[in-house]
Amino acid sequence: METLTFKKGVHPSYNKELTEDRPVVELLPKEKAVFLMQQHTGAICQPIVKKGDRVLAGQMIADAVASISAPIHSSISGVVCDITEIPYTMGTSVPAIIIENDHEYKQAEPMHEQCNYWELSRENIIDIIHEAGIVGMGGAAFPTYIKLSPSNYEEIHSIILNGCECEPYITCDHKLMLDGAKKIVEGLNIMLHLFPNAKGYIGIEDNKMDAILAMQEAIDAVGVSSKIEVKILETKYPQGSEKQLISAILNREVPTGRLPADIGCIVQNVGTAYAIYEAVVEGKPLISRIVTVTGGAISHPQDFLVRVGTSFQELIDAAGGFTERPTKIISGGPMMGVTMPNTNVPITKATTAVLCLLKEETCIPDESNCIRCGRCVRACPMNLLPLYLDQFGRRGDIDRFKSINGTSCIECGCCAYVCPAHLRIVNTIRNAKREIRNNNNVKKVI
Amino acid sequence: MTDNQFIEASSPHIHESASTKAIMLDVIIALIPALIASVVFFKIRALIIVVLSVVSCVLSELLWQKIFRQQSTIDDLSAVVTGILLAFTLPPTVPYYIPVVGGIFAIIIVKQIFGGIGKNFLNPALASRAFLMATWPAVMSKWTLDGVSTATPLELLKGASGNVPPIWQLFIGCTAGSVGETSALALIIGAVYLIYRKIITWEIPVAYVGTVFLLTLLFNDTATPFICASYQILTGGLLLGAIYMATDYTTSPVTKKGKYIMGIGCGILTCLLRTKGQMPEGVCYSILIMNLFVPMIERHTVPKTFGEVR
Contact A396, A406 (CB under 8 A): no
Residue A233 shares a structural domain with residue A209: yes
B306, part of any domain: no
Predicted confidence at residue A297, as pLDDT, reads 95
As a whole number of angstroms, the distance between CA A176 and CA B176 comes to 70
Q: What is the pLDDT of residues A18-27, one digit of tens each?
A: 999 999 999 9
Q: Which of B14, B19, B203, B297 to mutate to test the interface with A (most CBs of A within 10 A)?
A: B14
In this complex, the residue of B5, B14, B20 whose CB is nearest that of residue A12 is: B14
Which residues of chain A neighbour B11 with C-beta distances below 8 Å?
Answer: 334-338, 411, 413, 426
Contact A342 B4 (CB under 8 A): yes
As a whole number of angstroms, the distance between CA A266 and CA A200 comes to 10
Omega before B12 within 30 of 0, i.e. cis: yes
Q: Which of A298, A328, A371, A423 to mutate to test the interface with B (most CBs of B within 10 A)?
A: A371
A51, part of any domain: no
pLDDT higher than threshold 80 for residue B297: yes
B6, part of any domain: no
Handedness of CA A394, A431, A383, B191 (dihedral sign): positive
Of A301, A336, A363, the last residue of a domain is A363
CATH number at residue A298: 3.40.50.11540
B159, part of any domain: yes
CATH number at residue B170: 1.10.3430
**Angle at CA A113, nearest 5°, toward A109 and A118?**
145
A351, part of any domain: yes
Which residues of chain B neighbour A395 with C-beta distances below 8 Å?
Answer: none
- Mean pLDDT, rounded, for B47-75: 96
Q: Which residues of B95-115 are buried (b: 16+ CB within 10 A; e: fewer)?
A: eeebbbbbbbbbbbbbbbeee
Q: For residue A398, what is the enclosing H or E element?
A: helix A398-403
pLDDT higher than threshold 60 for residue B2: no
Q: Which domain holds residue B261?
A: 20-297
Residue A237 shares a structural domain with residue A259: yes
Residue A11 shares a structural domain with residue A151: yes
Residue A399 shares a structural domain with residue A434: yes
pLDDT higher than threshold 60 for residue A122: yes
pLDDT higher than threshold 70 for residue A16: yes
A392, part of any domain: yes
Residue A118's pLDDT band (cuts 50, 70, 90): confident
Residue A408 shares a structural domain with residue A334: no
The type of residue at A407 is T
Q: What is the pLDDT of residues B265-290, one digit of tens each?
A: 999 999 999 988 888 789 999 999 99
Q: For residue A125, what is the enclosing H or E element?
A: helix A122-131
Residue A398 shares a structural domain with residue A266: no
- Mean pLDDT, rounded, for B91-111: 97
Count of domains for chain A: 2
Work out the mean pLDDT of chain A and round it to a whole number. Answer: 93
HEC readout, B67-92: HCCCCCCHHHCHHHHHHHHHHHCCCC
Give B33 or A67, the one with higher predicted confidence.
Answer: B33
**Which distant-in-sequence residues (6+ apart) come within 8 Å of B113 by Cβ?**
none
- Mean pLDDT, rounded, for B157-181: 85
Residue A404 shares a structural domain with residue A257: no
- Mean pLDDT, rounded, for A177-182: 95
A312, part of any domain: yes
pLDDT higher than threshold 70 for residue B1: no
Contact B14 A336 (CB under 8 A): no
Q: Which domain holds residue A384?
A: 375-445
B305, part of any domain: no
The pTM (predicted TM-score) of the whole model is 0.93
Helices (H), chain B: 20-67, 78-88, 97-104, 124-135, 153-157, 167-172, 184-196, 203-218, 225-234, 238-240, 256-276, 283-300
pLDDT higher than threshold 50 for residue A232: yes
Residue B223's pLDDT band (cuts 50, 70, 90): confident
- Mean pLDDT, rounded, for A61-84: 90
A53, part of any domain: no
- Mean pLDDT, rounded, for A112-124: 83
Of A363, A390, A407, the last residue of a domain is A363
B33, part of any domain: yes
As a whole number of angstroms, the distance between CA A376 and CA A387 comes to 7
As a whole number of angstroms, the distance between CA A91 and CA A93 comes to 7
Contact B307 A408 (CB under 8 A): yes
B303, part of any domain: no
- Mean pLDDT, rounded, for A36-41: 88
As a whole number of angstroms, the distance between CA B240 and CA A41 comes to 55
A44, part of any domain: no
In this complex, the residue of B4, B118, B309 whose CB is nearest that of residue A371 is: B118
Of A336, A363, A390, the last residue of a domain is A363
Residue A337 shares a structural domain with residue A190: yes
- Mean pLDDT, rounded, for A215-222: 94
Residue A2 shares a structural domain with residue A147: yes
pLDDT higher than threshold 70 for residue A445: no
Complex confidence, ipTM: 0.92
B80, part of any domain: yes
Count of domains for chain B: 1
Residue A287 shares a structural domain with residue A426: no
Residue A140's pLDDT band (cuts 50, 70, 90): confident
Residue A165 shares a structural domain with residue A275: yes
Residue A248 shares a structural domain with residue A383: no
A77, part of any domain: no
Q: Does A338 touch chain B (CB under 8 A)?
A: yes
Q: Count of A–B CB contacts within 8 Å? A: 160
B302, part of any domain: no
pLDDT higher than threshold 70 for residue B3: no
A103, part of any domain: no
Predicted confidence at residue A34, as pLDDT, reads 95
